[in-house]
Amino acid sequence: MADAIGLPSETSRYMRSIQPIRRRSDLGRFVALVILSGAALSMWGSAVAQAGITGSTGAVNVRAAPGGTLSDGSLESDTQIQVWFESRVGNAGSQSFDHVGAGLVNNPFVIGANRPSPSTVIVGEGLSYMIHIDQTTDTTAINYSGTVTFSAPILGVWFTTGGLGGSDAQWKPAGLTIGTLTNRNWDLSPNGAARDFTISTNLRTLTINQQNGVNEIDQIRVLINPEPSSAMLAGLGVLGLAALVRRRRKRDSRAAQ
Tens digit of pLDDT per residue, the chain (257 long)? 544 445 455 555 545 554 554 555 555 565 455 455 555 444 444 444 445 999 999 999 999 999 999 999 999 999 999 999 999 999 999 999 999 999 999 999 988 999 999 999 999 999 999 999 999 987 888 999 999 999 999 999 999 999 999 999 999 999 999 999 999 999 999 887 789 999 999 999 999 999 998 889 999 999 999 865 444 444 545 555 555 656 666 666 666 66
Q: How far apart are the first and last CA of the chain?
A: 21
Q: Are 195 and 158 in contact (CB under 8 A)?
A: no
DSSP-based three-state secondary structure for 214: coil
Can you say whether the dihedral through the CA atoms of 224, 67, 195, 59 is positive or negative?
negative
Model confidence, pTM = 0.73
Crossing angle for the helix pair 9-50 and 230-256, to the nearest 10 degrees: 160
Alpha-helical (H) ranges within the chain are: 9-50, 161-171, 230-256
**CA distances, 198 to each of 35, 39, 207 (Å):** 44, 38, 5
